[in-house]
Structure 1
Amino acid sequence: MNPVTQLIRQLSGIVQGGDKNNPAGAAFIKEAEKAAKEKMDLDIPLRALSGTVFDLETTGFFPQKQDRILSIGGVKIKNNEITDDTFYSFVYYDQPISETIRHLTGIQEEDVLNAPAEADVLTRFFAFAEDDLFIAHHAAHEKGFMQDALWRSFRATFQRRLIDTIFLTKLQPDLRDTAELEACCRYFNIEPAGRHHALHDAKLAAELWIHSVNVMESMGIHTLKDVYRALSR
């Protein structure tokens, strides 16, 4: 076990809940983010990266307008394979959920009224992720809500490297103008089942990442540094 992962596991073991009034919870989140930010992963082969692919279901699209996270789903990938290591949790929310969101996600108000507090779910999710690279599809959505939630819950900033699967699909000629997750999955014959469930969408994004890494390698793109260079051309 590398020293960073060992430190995060030690810290997560002493955190009893993620209440923002709990100094241990705030310290854990800040230390986990600092450690992950300092991790040098630009030159690691894409297929050798350890990543947590995650997805959020939310009450809307604008955290700055009081939209909130309703659920978090994540799955780990190692050696360019999806593992059995997954995370899923509803997040406490005590306001009405719009009919549109209830219909889209299947999340009902009773699901989140009895769920753990946001700070507690965040603490458990970051303990699950350890010092992994974060990966998401249309990652700006996840980044915005994570930034908002971490600041509100812990006065912590979201510093972790977050890679958008679109970074890889944009480099593939047949997918250059395709951003929607279902369309990208169908291109690789991935059945887009269970859409708009955080864990199911995380698994779809993980499959998309794995297929895209294989394509990147055939194009001579082997590391994140290579990806960034290719995107800047």
Structure 2
Amino acid sequence: MNRTLVLVSALGAGLMTTAGISQTAAASAAAAPAPAAAPAAVEPQAIPAKIALVAFEQAVFATNEGQRSVQQIQDKYKPKKDQIDTLSKEVDSLKAQLQSAPATLSDEERATRLRNIDTKEKELNRNAEDAQTAYNADLQEAYGKVAAKVSVTLKDYVSKNGYTLLLDVSGQQSNVMWANQSTDVTQAIVTAYNTSSGVAAPAPSGPSAGAPTTARPRPTTTPKPAAPKQ
């Protein structure tokens, strides 16, 4: 009997404790501030489109600074180009001499001349390829330096003139099939950069064989300093 009373008393105390804890938790939950609602997503607003086109690579090389850089590179490689031109003429001369050689020319002499021509041609091709690689590397480096500065002018120009989209049409396989020419800002960018850079237009120079002859060469498709003649 006493054990039963003790057990009932213990259970009652436990239930009272549990009820107190539940009431305290409920009160705490009621007093806690409600979580803030997540901000509503901002819907993008449609605005009138104003699209501009730019031939960026051409613009970079059309600037006074770009033209000056190309001329400096051409001047740097002119001695090498002249050397390659001389070797190319020598190979042509050796081939012409062999073709005009008399029929009485011995097989041994003919073989010697052919070996000499082959050696000269290999030297010519090797020199031309090395010069081409070095020339392209210098041209690419010069392009990168000027392009970084022209890009700043370009972004400032389109921002101030209210354009909403700018498309680069420098690539040979541009996705732009047709566009009103009034949207082409290439020349405007060239003029704006020339004004901000303060670089004067370089003096015109005569074209040289094997070197870029235009003001806007593409850095990855520049002609070789001197192509070997066959």
TM bin (shorter chain) = under 0.3
TM-score, scaled to structure 2: 0.22
Q: Which has the higher contact order (CA 8 A, sep 6+)?
A: 2
State which structure, 1 or 2, has the greater radius of gyration over its C-alpha atoms. 2
Counting strand residues as a fraction of each chain, which structure ranks higher?
1
